[in-house]
Structure 1
């Protein structure tokens, strides 16, 4: 039977078939196989592995962008209100000032890219059980797919709320071609079920080739439990589950002793890096450093210097005095030798993100293949600390997790004298400062309904606490709008409140 999927109603879902090296450390460019024949393709383990490798390539859309600096990883961060955009993007400026609308192309990129990945995951879950291969290998391969489907649904449900819940392949004549939105709770039920299956699939504790590991599964599941304990579900019983699941991750990873290792090539998929999107020059590159260096200054051998995501000075100043992360060329930098004339030092006038500065490309040919990190150990450590504090207040192990991060930053340790409320805010601040500009802050606002007032170093209600730009968070911004093009295509879709 020929499988020629044309339209899903929620966006065009193109099956992606990608040839990949056996270790999946690099993913090659995807091919649009419009005449893909599903019943004759999944004939052996090699074909199954190759198809699953192709699902990983959907991760790239988070870093995709145009010449004006519009990229999903930037759009998500700008919603948190702690960055400026010094480039030419009207859409980025509209997000910062909370005047964007449902035709912002970033909203469609995430929606469509996620459903493309989910369509491929659904097909893999249907076909791989029939492939002749060792049972243990098959189970692990399916575990990777369950993780990936959960990963993309986790982004969809947090960003858009109720979303179509599609769990099987859909053809042009199927009744489910134009699905309605499913409740948030149902989407989370699927996410948790998928990750639970991935937990039991026999995946390795860690993986240094770029594939899903048990550590990645447990970190993502712990994040899901923490999120569902907050808004909008408020299932507070999930704090205990978040703590227990995050605790499973802690023994398998170690903190780097050098912040440079977070964004260099030599330490990809190692140390504290739990799950990354893989890049390699000559195979797939990205514009992460170009997007995050100051606008129009010759810093590094890049053709573009876009300044699309620049930390506010107020956020930079919210770090404690002496924090190593604020020292020059740690998490941030404010000057750098001019490209081609290193005797000249360029002073930026802002604090740009050194944590995304890629020395290999800056000092080379300007082509970046730094990996993008979705999950790393400090997030698991802070999930454990926050969740266990919600269950029973400050405890020795929770304090140890936060203090390990603070010790690396050359800060004094927190003490057991903190109250539960004080420890909660200390953890939240550590999340903002350690996971800064890693697409975590906006999701924290969603689940806590609290915003970090960096000027006063306190947390306030999100809808009454102004950002550094003087913008007060609008309640409609707890969710993204359903892309207008999807609503125009699928009459069963409805729009989120306020959009």
Structure 2
């Protein structure tokens, strides 16, 4: 079931957070034909439209970022597990070479896109309480969903940029903090935890096949936040590993979620927003088509119904080859990769001589043997999977208690069992921890997760040794001249925002 979010231009609710502008006169002009927030929020339908606009804003992740690129690529090209097959986009090349600056369009788009989500949810949180009459149960749920989305956005922001402006009310050009200062990382995390705690207790359903936020998703995201807070940069250690273990165990024990039986179900239209997919960015071809399919395809190798096959984000051979022998996740057109596909999407099978990402492959849009593709994708983009909850529990419990318990072994072995790998057993704390990390790299690849694991752990998976290197000084296997440095632990603030708002200074170290 899809959350049918219509075009945001029809909702007329999105209050953009602008951290500096030279267009005040334009913004202050009144148009009496337009709806205004002060007069709009009067009936329950307005609350529904407002939260729908918040969900719509999350789709910035798939939005374009110059020629042959979309924003999602930023989190993959800096990990060393992905590369680009197109040389036309200098921003992609700079990310892959770790030579990006605040001028990078994707760096700017992530900042702006996340603050757009925050702007809309702030409006919802401020205005919906005043709508009367409205069913109080539903009102609390809408506010819980808004808190969930705001926490989701700030969690990305604080991990990407460190200290960021913490904006909790709608902004206008007359707001006293229209040019905000940066808030300390710990205070931002405190707000994220508060928002998710409210969402968790807002009366949301445990699961939501509609694609909206659920109680289970709120708990899963909170567990992930606690796990991150336990590591760098806050280094809160054992107490927060315990919080992460307890919260993820609640998700596991309360039931309703689980692993799909097959990897094909991860990218099937019939299983969206169900079982393993706890929260996804919603796409529906008739409303907002998934724009990422052709970007993930091999560069013009004629394997789909799309006329433009870009290859802007594809796996490195080194990472693909790092999977254990017999790992089902590396099996062609079964797991997360494909090394052959059908000519034109529906014709004779052809060998591609390189791995490509199958985890997000829309068979309906691209085509399959004897069935022409539609070249229009409704496939959602995953944000929280139950597989990650299992691995969060395994890692956190082991660190909290000093050794893995049976439940932690059950969690990691559920992941390994689906991949047809031998169960983990008899491991010490450090051995078990690294086993979990390897599963995170191999199970959660190309979902915007790996980079944040690298930063919170200050470790990077070494495909050659099957071990873990320190973050600083790690050289990418596919491009050994590209080496991670201390400055790469954060992205730079976007140059345009940094220049327009002097209160954002200083720039992140090294930029």
What TM-score range do you get, normalising by the shorter chain? Answer: over 0.9
**Contact 1:24–1:53 under 8 Å retained in 2:** no
CA distance in 1, matches of 2:496, 2:65: 19
Query: Hey, what's the Cα distance between the residues in 2 that align with 1:336 and 1:68?
Result: 25
C-alpha contact 2:65 2:106 (8 A) present in aligned 1: no
**Aligned residue pairs: how many?**
475
Matches within 5 A, 1:32-181: 33=12, 35-66=34-65, 68-87=67-86, 88-132=88-132, 133-181=134-182
CA displacement 1:38-91 (0-9 Å, x = unmatched): 122111111111111111011110011246332221111111111110013221
1:28 aligns with 2:6: yes
Distance 1:67 1:296 in 2: 19
Query: Residues 449-496 of structure 1: CA distance to partner in whole angstroms, max 9, x if unpaired?
Result: 001111110101011221121121121111111000001111111210
Which stretch shows the higher mean deviation, 269-278 or 279-288? 279-288
State the partner residue of 1:305: 309
Q: Alpha-carbon deviations, 1:235-288, whole Å to 9, x = none?
A: 112110001111111222021111111112111111200001111111100222
Of 241, 244, 251, the residue aligned with 1:242 is 244
Equivalent residues of 1:64, 1:286 under 8 A apart: no
Cross-structure match for 1:459: 468
Match of 1:404 in 2: 414
Matched with 1:11 is none
Q: 2 CA distance for matches of 1:202 and 1:124? A: 17
Q: Do the aligned residues in 1 keep the contact of 2:205 with 2:215 (CA within 8 Å)?
A: yes
Structure 2, unmatched stretches of 5+, are: 13-30, 368-372
Q: SS of 1:404's equivalent? A: helix
Alignment pair present for 1:474 and 2:485: yes
After TM superposition, give the deviation of residue 100 of structure 1 in Å. Answer: 1.3
Residues 65 and 109 in structure 2, CA contact (< 8 A), matched pair in contact too: no
CA contact (8 A) 2:2 2:284 kept: no
- The residue that corresponds to 1:419 in the other structure is 428
CA–CA separation in structure 1 for the residues paired with 2:195 and 2:2: 22
Using the alignment, how far apart are the partners of 2:491 and 2:471 within structure 1?
Answer: 16
Residues 451-460 or 360-369, more deviating: 360-369
The question of whether the paired residues in 2 share the 8 Å contact of 1:310 and 1:350 is answered with no
Secondary structure, in 3 states, of the residue corresponding to 1:305? coil
SS in 1 for 2:274: coil
C-alpha deviation, 1:31, in angstroms:
0.7
Query: How far apart, in 2, do the equivalents of 1:385 and 1:68 lie?
Result: 41
Q: Distance in 2 between matches of 1:128 and 1:395?
A: 45
1:201-236 CA distance string (max 9 Å, x none): 111110000100011101110010000100000011
Q: Does 1:277 align with 2:287?
A: no
Which residue in the other structure is 2:224 paired with?
A: 223
1:184 aligns with 2:185: yes
Decide whether the 8 Å contact of 1:299 with 1:339 is kept in 2. yes
2:18 aligned partner: none
Unaligned runs of 5+ in 1: 1-22
Check whether the contact 2:207–2:256 (CA below 8 A) recurs between aligned residues: yes
1:207–1:213 CA contact under 8 A, matched in 2: yes
Q: Deviations over 1:412-439 (max 9, x none)?
A: 1011x10000000000000000111111
2:404 equivalent in structure 1: 394
Runs of 4+ that moved beyond 2 A = 32-36, 66-70
Q: Report if the CA contact (8 A) 2:65-2:71 is conserved.
A: no
Deviation at 1:498, TM superposition (A): 0.6
SS at match of 2:74: helix
- Output the CA distance in 2 between the equivalents of 1:93 and 1:159: 19
SS at match of 2:474: coil
d(CA) in 1 for partners of 2:429, 2:176: 51
Describe how 1:248-259 pairs up with structure 2 within 5 A: 248-250=250-252, 251-259=255-263
Query: For the Cα contact (< 8 Å) 1:68–1:308, is it kept in 2?
Result: no
Query: How many Å separate the matches in 2 of 1:473 and 1:265?
Result: 38
**Contact 1:98–1:474 (8 Å) recurs in 2:** no
Q: Which residue of 2 aligns with 1:327?
A: 331
CA separation in 2, counterparts of 1:89 and 1:151? 29
CA contact (8 A) 2:256 2:275 kept: no
Q: How does 1:476-491 map to 2 (within 5 A)?
A: 476-491=487-502
Q: CA RMSD in A?
A: 1.4
SS in structure 2 of the partner of residue 460 of structure 1: strand
Question: Taking structure 1 as reference, are residues 296 and 367 closer, same or farther at Cα in structure 2, changes over 3 Å only?
Answer: same
Give deviations 1:83-102, integer Å, cap 9, x for gaps. 11001322111111111111
Q: Work out the CA distance in 2 between the residues paired with 1:460 and 1:122.
A: 41
Shift of 1:340: 6.9
Query: Whole-Å Cα distance in 1 between the matches of residues 346 and 190 of structure 2?
Result: 56
Change (3 A) 1:358 1:67: farther
Distance 1:211 1:412 in 2: 36
The answer to whether the Cα contact below 8 Å between 2:345 and 2:366 also exists between their aligned partners in 1 is no
